[in-house]
Chain A
């Protein structure tokens, strides 16, 4: 009798451990998290504009007034520069790591100038840039990321149908490119 009770108690302790393991491990095994879906979109270092309707990629603009584009990047071999400009009333941008945790976000109010000009760098690249800042990056917002891989989402607001073309071209002409810094 006592050993049966012991077996149940050990079983309950085991159940608690397995409960915790399942909850913590689940994000890695769903197979449909945002990072997996972004990776399925295609190559790195280019923006993919999302459709307004639900589709097989699993990613779409939930809000018809807010269009978005996604770019996957890996900065281990060099910084990645995000540039976009155009006539949109509001734009926002945010970056996420591979577990879809937000690493950086900003909007047009907090930008210098009117367009998006952000460069994602690793801590090492940041040190190099501090020594010699290339002219091209002088006005860029430098963002240091702990993880080299991630994705960046650019959103353009189009409150009325007549503003949709401007929002679309803002996202279509957005650049997400790897740059090289001279090891001076």
Chain B
């Protein structure tokens, strides 16, 4: 007697429950397609455009950030070192090599949610292409850690995972066809503080 209502209820439960669950799972699992990955670094050249895929647009609207336009630059984010281990705020790292061609670049550290770290005053929390010391061949070596070091140093001492953000300003990288051939700096783990 209650067979039909029960079947209708089952259908609706699967439709709404399954639809909502799969949508939220998809949004958690992926931050959108169209990412380019170079070693540890990844970027979304089309994120701010109308061509971004629906998942990327949903994330974009949730983050509510003002993104860089195509002529402005491209943002690369790294969440793991070259061995694939997640970047930890309790470890020290060395970023070395060179960046893709750009008129200006900056390197900064964020927490796992992409927010700036709570740094004590007067410690360097970011570097840029003007303030970074270079080797003779134009490459650089940047140390990140809790203890100050000579040369290029960025303060890094935070509980939890961190991310490194490399912002390239006015770069042909976004339009580059052969993305794979671009040089990105390498992220090497130096050591971790004992927990």
Interface residues of A (CB under 8 A from B): 3-4, 6-8, 10-19, 21-24, 26-28, 30, 32-34, 36-38, 53-54, 58-59, 62-66, 68, 70, 89-90, 92-96, 99-102, 104-107, 109-110, 153, 155, 157, 159-160
Contact = CB atoms under 8 A, between A and B. Distances in A.
By DSSP majority rule, is chain A's interface helix, strand, loop, or mixed? Answer: mixed
Contacts of A107: 71-72, 169-170
A145 to B, nearest CB: 13
Contacts of A7: 7-8, 10-11, 14
Interface string B41-76: 000000011101011011011101111111111000
Nearest to B25: A19
30 contacts: A11-B12, A11-B15, A12-B14, A15-B19, A17-B15, A18-B15, A18-B16, A22-B23, A23-B54, A27-B58, A32-B62, A33-B60, A36-B64, A37-B64, A62-B65, A64-B126, A65-B106, A68-B66, A92-B170, A94-B71, A96-B66, A100-B48, A100-B60, A100-B67, A101-B48, A102-B70, A104-B69, A106-B71, A107-B169, A155-B72
B131 A159 contact: yes
A19 B71 contact: no
By DSSP majority rule, is chain B's interface helix, strand, loop, or mixed? Answer: mixed
B69 A11 contact: no
A105 B16 CA distance: 41
Contacts of B69: 92-95, 102, 104-105, 153
A102 B167 contact: no
Contact of B14 (A15, A23, A104): A15
Interface in B158-175: 165, 167, 169-170
A54 B115 contact: yes
Interface in B3-25: 3, 7-8, 10-20, 22-23
Contact of A92 (B57, B58, B169): B169
A15 B24 CA distance: 12
B20 A22 contact: yes
A100 B61 contact: yes
Contact of A160 (B22, B103, B131): B131
